[in-house]
């Protein structure tokens, strides 16, 4: 816990270092593939590679799940890109439709992974709702739902009456139901993948941060205690990748933050409604997210994002951001005014300029692969990325790789990036504050 009075978690309430922490790398090794980073991307890649018979070493700086995979809100969602109308505008109908199909397939692949490895992670396939918080959002939601379903996505528009029938709290006016997916316990999911990877024979080293990557026909991934020589390296370090000196212009790490309340009692649950327990994200410019957990707490947050200079990670503890996310929760859920917030925490997500994930290879020999940039939707997409990276190692192309292939867009260099990021953030936050003022005025 942090020294401040706010109940802050250095990582999150979802995970703690496992009792069977694997030892740090303390010698030189040889492998077919060395993977760096043990979150959903790294663990899912390792499992797919083991299934095809590869000898895999997985290096994790901290413990598996200490990154975003053990900190997120657990919405298993087919959301992709900024929104569907933007996908359509930039990529045209055929490509937009393939991207939506990729996102749907990623949810289904994750569900299959949970089943296959018998991961007990409180998964609930209740769907998620992108919800308007002001009547002005309605037309946009209606249009986005129509566009997405014309392109083949499993979504439908939910008018106000249907939200009320479902018991979705009053603050949410109308919405788009994503029928695929739902939510899960992200910590149990990542630790379940870790257990499955160990059982499958992945050689996992925790407390083993990469300090250097030597290129060549065979790469060498170096940690303080030794090096791993392999035919391929896979960078599964997502928002941390610029920090290891790679992909600085491709992705921007942003910090987002969450809270968890105390468990609601029976009467609070009854008054709240929300029987279907659908995950909710708001149609603010910087969205807020809310969900109920299996132990009847509310986990929510986002709403504020922060970026660092030159791709550095902004610090996790941000008192002001925590106050803002709690304030938003209090406004949207007035019936829960007596429920305490028990924890706050923060983590980092990675954004490309077009909000789409990137799969590619780096280095002069093309044998350093990466899968990054899920823009806050990595529970499904990072899991799916594992199958795509493993196909690349086999020398094959996954059926959805073509949908993600595009000319890389680079973030501008510093100081332009810092200034542009600040301006954009301030503008989006101002739009959201205005929306919230309009909601208060209309009460
Ligand atoms: C607060 C928050 C809420 C979110 N909510 C959602 C949500 O509801 N739904 C959704 O779909 N997505 C959500 N996301 C995004 C999602 O969590 C990520 O997209 C996903 O976890 C990325 O997985 P990953 O394995 O690529 O990266 P990570 O889980 O970040 O894993 C990277 C790993 O690399 C390790 N590492 C870093 N540097 C080194 C090094 N030098 N050597 C070795 N290892 C290293 C890190 O310790 C870490 O374990 C959220 C993210 C955050 C932070």
- pLDDT at residue 2 is higher than 50: no
Supply φ then ψ for residue 148, to 5 degrees.
-65, -40
- pLDDT at residue 3 is higher than 60: no
> In this predicted model, what pLDDT tens digit does every residue of 85-136 receive, in sequence order?
999 999 999 999 999 999 999 999 999 999 999 999 999 999 999 999 999 9
> In this predicted model, what pLDDT tens digit does every residue of 16-28 receive, in sequence order?
999 999 999 999 9
> In this predicted model, what pLDDT tens digit does every residue of 173-190 receive, in sequence order?
999 999 999 999 999 999
- pLDDT at residue 322 is higher than 50: yes
Name the band, by pLDDT with cuts 50, 70 and 90, for residue 443: confident
Name the band, by pLDDT with cuts 50, 70 and 90, for residue 4: low
Neighbouring C-beta atoms of residue 295, cutoff 10 Å: 11
pLDDT at 215: 93
- The Cα angle at residue 39 between residues 201 and 49, in degrees rounded to 5: 40
Are 327 and 337 contacting, i.e. CB atoms less than 8 angstroms apart? no
> 65 alpha carbon to ligand 1 midpoint, in Å?
8
- For ligand 1, atom 11, name the residue with the nearest CA: 377
Mean pLDDT along residues 49-57: 98
pLDDT at 407: 86
> In this predicted model, what pLDDT tens digit does every residue of 251-309 receive, in sequence order?
999 999 999 999 999 999 999 999 999 999 999 888 999 999 999 999 999 878 888 88
> 185 alpha carbon to ligand 1 midpoint, in Å?
14
Burial classification of residue 89, based on how many CB atoms lie within 10 Å of its CB (0-12 exposed, 13-18 middle, 19 or more buried)? exposed
The two structure tokens encoding residue 116: 């296959």
Rg of the Cα atoms in the chain: 21
Q: Which ligand 1 atom is at minimum distance from the Cα of 348?
A: 53
- Exposure pattern of 331-367 as b/e (b: 16+ CB <10 Å)? ebbeebeebebebbbbbbbbbbebbbbbbbebbeeeb
pLDDT at 224: 97
Q: What's the CA gap between 166 and 189, in Å, rounded? A: 28
Per the model's pLDDT, the better-predicted residue between 412 and 311 turns out to be: 412
pLDDT at 343: 97
Supply φ then ψ for residue 326, to 5 degrees.
-70, -40
Q: Which residues line ligand 1 (CB under 6 A)?
A: 36-42, 59-62, 66-69, 71-75, 77, 209-210, 236-240, 244, 256, 258, 347-349, 374, 376-380, 382
> In this predicted model, what pLDDT tens digit does every residue of 428-437 receive, in sequence order?
888 999 998 9
pLDDT at 42: 98
> 241 alpha carbon to ligand 1 midpoint, in Å?
11
Mean pLDDT of the chain: 95
- The percent of residues in the chain predicted with pLDDT above 70, rounded, is 99
pLDDT at 441: 86
Are 64 and 43 contacting, i.e. CB atoms less than 8 angstroms apart? yes
- pLDDT at residue 1 is higher than 50: no
> In this predicted model, what pLDDT tens digit does every residue of 357-372 receive, in sequence order?
999 998 889 999 999 9
pLDDT at 303: 72
Q: Which ligand 1 atom is at minimum distance from the Cα of 279?
A: 8
pLDDT at 408: 78
pLDDT at 362: 86
Q: Which ligand 1 atom is at minimum distance from the Cα of 77?
A: 11
pLDDT at 272: 95
pLDDT at 302: 80
- For ligand 1, atom 49, name the residue with the nearest CA: 67
Neighbouring C-beta atoms of residue 19, cutoff 10 Å: 5
Q: Which ligand 1 atom is at minimum distance from the Cα of 374?
A: 19
């Amino acid at each position: 816990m942090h020294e401040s009075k706010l109940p802050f978690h250095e990582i999150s309430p979802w995970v703690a270092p496992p009792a069977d922490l694997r030892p740090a790398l303390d010698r030189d090794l040889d492998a077919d593939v060395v993977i760096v980073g043990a979150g959903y991307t790294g663990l899912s890649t390792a499992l797919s590679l083991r299934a095809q018979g590869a000898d895999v070493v997985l290096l994790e700086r901290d413990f598996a799940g200490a990154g975003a995979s053990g900190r997120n809100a657990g919405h298993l969602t087919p959301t992709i890109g900024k929104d569907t109308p933007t996908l359509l505008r930039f990529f045209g109908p055929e490509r937009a439709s393939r991207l939506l199909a990729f996102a749907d397939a990623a949810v289904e692949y994750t569900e299959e992974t949970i089943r296959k490895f018998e991961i007990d992670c409180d998964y609930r396939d209740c769907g998620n709702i992108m919800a308007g918080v002001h009547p002005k959002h309605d037309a946009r939601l209606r249009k986005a739902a129509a566009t997405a379903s014309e392109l083949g996505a499993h979504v439908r528009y939910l008018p106000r009456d249907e939200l009320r029938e479902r018991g979705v709290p009053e603050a949410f006016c109308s919405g788009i139901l994503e029928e695929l997916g739902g939510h899960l316990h992200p910590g149990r999911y990542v630790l379940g993948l870790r257990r499955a990877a160990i059982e499958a024979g992945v050689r996992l080293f925790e407390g083993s941060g990469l300090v250097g990557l030597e290129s060549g026909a065979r790469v060498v991934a170096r940690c303080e205690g030794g090096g791993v020589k392999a035919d391929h390296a896979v960078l599964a370090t997502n928002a941390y990748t610029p920090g290891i000196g790679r992909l600085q212009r491709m992705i921007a790490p942003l910090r987002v933050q969450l809270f968890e309340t105390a468990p609601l009692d029976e009467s609070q649950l009854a008054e709240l409604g929300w029987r279907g327990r659908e995950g909710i994200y708001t149609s603010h410019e910087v969205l807020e997210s809310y969900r109920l957990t299996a132990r009847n707490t509310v986990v929510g947050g986002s709403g504020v994002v922060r970026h660092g200079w030159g791709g550095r990670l902004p610090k996790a503890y941000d008192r002001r951001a925590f106050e803002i996310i709690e304030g938003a929760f209090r406004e949207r859920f007035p019936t829960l005014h007596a429920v305490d917030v028990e924890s706050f925490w923060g983590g980092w997500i990675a954004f490309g300029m077009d909000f789409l994930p990137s799969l590619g290879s780096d280095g002069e020999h093309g044998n350093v692969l990466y899968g990054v940039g899920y823009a806050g939707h990595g529970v499904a997409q990072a899991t799916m990325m594992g199958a795509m990276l493993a196909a690349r190692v086999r020398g094959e192309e996954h059926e959805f790789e073509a949908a993600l292939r595009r000319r890389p867009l680079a973030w501008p260099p510093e100081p332009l990036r810092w200034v542009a990021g600040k301006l954009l953030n301030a503008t989006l936050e101002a739009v959201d504050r205005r929306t919230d003022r309009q909601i208060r005025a209309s009460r």
